[in-house]
Amino acid sequence: MNILERVNAPTPAFFKRLRNIGLLLAAISAAIIAAPVALPAALVSVASYLAVGGTVLSAVSQITTNRESPATSP
């Protein structure tokens, strides 16, 4: 199964929720990073880590499928 087939395959409900949480984290962190006011450096640093974490969480959750791979089937 190539990457395009995995992205288009059905995603389990649990991973859909994780994907949405990751997107929410990425959006909140982007808003903090792009804020027009001066924010403490620690807050901006934490927001950048949350952006990376949210993006990775969303990407991994999106390519998780319900279908078993042929190698693990009996």
Cα separation of 65 and 61, whole Å? 9
Work out how many domains the chain is built from and give that number. 1
* 24-59 pLDDT tens trace: 999 999 999 998 899 999 999 999 999 999 999 999
- Give pTM, 2 decimals: 0.77
Is residue 50, in this structure, part of any structural domain at all? Answer: yes
Is 24 inside any structural domain?
A: yes
- What's the count of helices (H) and strands (E) in the chain, helices before strands? 3, 0
Tell me whether residue 69 is in a domain: no
The range of the structural domain enclosing residue 14 comes to 3-62
The answer to whether residue 16 is domain-embedded is yes
For residue 34, being part of any structural domain is answered with yes
Is residue 19 a part of any domain in this protein? Answer: yes
* Confidence (pLDDT) at 66: 80
